Amino acid sequence: MPLTSPLALTMGEPAGIGAEISVGAWTALRQDGPVFFYVGDPALLGDAPWREIADPAGAAAVFPAAIPVLPLPLAATAIPGRLDPRNAPAVIAAIERAVALARSGAASAVVTNPIQKSVLTATGFAYPGHTEFLAALAPGEGPPVMLLAAAGLRAVPVTIHQSLKSAIDDLTSEKIVAVARATAAGLARDFGIAAPRLALCGLNPHAGEAGTMGLEDRDIIAPAIAQLRAAGIDARGPFPADTLFTPHARAGYDVALGMYHDQALIPVKTLDMAGGVNVTLNLGVVRTSPDHGTALDIAGQGRADAGSLVAALRLAAELAAHRLERKPA
């Protein structure tokens, strides 16, 4: 089903590579789309052609010739590589505006350029990152889930931004079940996978080797899988993480659930660092982002690769179309 409105792209950290990759994405997509508009300060776009639009409805007519922009001026001139807390409110406002437009239907989805969380936190931002802020702005039917997608692999971490020790301490059957349920629902709603197959990583080497290398796989992960299967979800495992990401293994599931951050993200980034996409499942809006950070060290040097943002925009359009198809008439 064709989209009825364009995608909203936020500017992200003004001192990072967000504007540069936004220009690169427009250059790559200007002929065939998907159409997007930029929410941010047009001064960041440099010499690229841009045109102010009054509302998202005007983006499609502008897109082939210029970047459509809903202007949101910065408080201070952005200098590549140099963080400035004075611009934090505008970064936050861009996200809020994009989400509001998506919730109203004026935008089909939100695609976020990378933010510098330390700068936002220093100015009183109350959320650990994008995901938590977006969940507050556009709550969905379940807990938000971070999914990383690359060529031939989708992966979800059960625990996210915490130390490895605390992640292991926090791992429970209840947490695994909640994340797995939310993942299955999100894949059905946004990816169009009616009965997703979930493969769960073991926590310990060899998935615990029957308890000889740790008890968590036997006592925490296996009971969670049994509970999921009893609820009709196709969950399998726990599988040794060192063999779960081979080409042969990946053919047998739709998503892998890692027990901690790096267990899920390392395979995705190894397979396709330039084309990986971060998706937040179970929001009230479709949201994707590039699978990388602000890259302050190369900002303003013309070296940034727009590939991940291009992939994020294309996937956002695909997910929004799936969600539109499932929307009641």
**3-state SS, residue 242:** coil
206 is in an annotated binding site: yes
Of 190, 172, 180, give the one whose Cα is nearest residue 231: 180
292 is in an annotated binding site: no
**DSSP assignment of 71-121:** E---SS--BTTB--GGGHHHHHHHHHHHHHHHHHTSSS-EEE----HHHHH
CB of 7 closer than 8 Å to CB of 107: yes
Provide the residue type at 69 as one letter: V
CB of 45 closer than 8 Å to CB of 70: no
- What is the rounded CA–CA span in Å between residue 294 and residue 16? 5
Owner of token pair 């992966």: 155
209-213: long-range contacts, CB 8 A cutoff, minimum separation 24: none
For residue 305, CA distances in Å to 46, 49, 156, 318 come to 17, 19, 24, 22
Beta-bridge partners for 37: 8
Read off the tokens for 39.
């929410």
322 is in an annotated binding site: no
Owner of token pair 């599931």: 253
CB of 287 closer than 8 Å to CB of 131: no
For residue 147, CA distances in Å to 63, 87, 155, 183 come to 29, 29, 6, 8
250 is in an annotated binding site: no
Torsion sign across C-alpha atoms 315, 189, 257, 249 = negative
123 is in an annotated binding site: no
Instruction: List residues forming the annotated binding site.
Output: 130-131, 161, 206, 261, 269, 278, 287
Instruction: List residues forming the annotated binding site for substrate.
Output: 130-131, 269, 278, 287
Instruction: List residues forming the annotated binding site for a divalent metal cation.
Output: 161, 206, 261
